[in-house]
Amino acid sequence: MFFTFLGTGAGLPAKERNVTSLSISFPEYDGNLWLFDCGEGTQRQILYSSVKLTKLKVIFITHLHGDHIFGLPGILGSRSFQGAESPLLLIGPTGLKEYVEVSLRVSGTHIRYPLAVRELSAAGGAAFEDEHFTVSAEPLDHGILSFGYRITEKDYPGELLVDKLKQAGITPGPIYKQFKEKSEVVLPDGRRLKTASFVGEKRQGRRITIIGDTRPCDTAVELADHADVLIHEATFQDHSRALAYDYHHSTSVQAAEIANKASAEKLILTHISSRYQKDDQTLLLEEARRVFQNTELANDLWSFHLRRQPR
């Protein structure tokens, strides 16, 4: 699972940071790609990354402020222009469907693939599910309805017990794949074998939490409970807590406090105000690490690999 931070700024583009967008790709699942938020200029950022729009399956929108959605019409049009024919699903707050339809209609943008929009109720809840993942959404504390998302990978089979297969006289080949995917396998010699004996115990899937714009709130802690990775906005330094509160945002230290309360494994800070230049950004990271040591500060086009780990 690869995270690519296409934009890590807040409010408006800056020289060092474009506005918010995050891609998650799944090489282990046919290379499928999800996008979280799509600020202005996201498609240009993609040109400097390994992200491929033809692999894009789902776009999740945390909320409808411009720095999170103004790049969406361009992405939708470019995906069509690049020849994508597979369906695309958009998920986000009420109003997303109208924004997309009006933008495409007024600009005369035609798309050649099936496009669906799923609007979430203000109460949140189940947002998405496929063969490998479930995604839930819960409302946060922002000036408008803003969601946090929790991605839960379904438990996956343990490792194939190759030595045991060889002891049973089963040599390596395509049949090994059947032992991973089926409950019973018929061998060329006619034997029927239950596959459970040849596969290790199931392993718990990974858990990722993406917090949209918000003041610190209990919901953020609940969404991030024991997350392998918590991605949280950190718009302001901690000495600006009053300003952060007024603008319905969080500071870097408040994000670290959420990670602590949630017993998260790793915290990644993003959505940084353009008022902070390089030295100030270092201070954001340092003050967060004093509260939660395993913290990183995302920069534009930075990638992070979350491997499967046995628990």
Closest to 270 in 3D by CA, of 68, 128, 73, 75: 68
Determine the topology of domain 2-156+202-305 in CATH: Metallo-beta-lactamase; Chain A (3.60.15)
The span from the CA of 294 to the CA of 123, in Å, is 32
Average pLDDT over the chain, rounded to whole? Answer: 93
pLDDT interval class at 181 (50, 70, 90): confident
How far apart are alpha carbons 127 and 148 in whole angstroms? 11
Three-state DSSP class for residue 205: coil
Ramachandran region, residue 20 (left: φ > 0; alpha: ψ -120 to 50; beta: rest) = beta
What's the confidence (pLDDT) of residue 311? 45
- pLDDT at position 8 over 90: yes
* Among the ranges given (6-10, 201-205, 272-276, 285-289), the one the predictor scored with the smallest mean pLDDT: 201-205
Give the type of residue at 201. E
The domain segmentation of the chain, as residue ranges, is 2-156+202-305, 162-194
Residue 54 · residue 31 · CB < 8 Å: no
* Digit-coded pLDDT (tens) for 266-303: 999 999 999 998 778 899 999 999 999 999 999 999 99
Cα–Cα distance, 25 to 35 (Å, whole number): 9
Note the pTM of the prediction, 2 decimals.
0.89
What CA–CA distance (Å, rounded) separates 194 from 203?
A: 19
Q: What confidence score (pLDDT) does residue 310 get?
A: 55
Q: What is the mean pLDDT of residues 4-12?
A: 96
The answer to whether the Cα torsion of 238, 242, 243, 245 is positive or negative is: positive
The secondary element (H helix, E strand) that includes residue 9 is strand 9-10
Catalytically active residues are 67
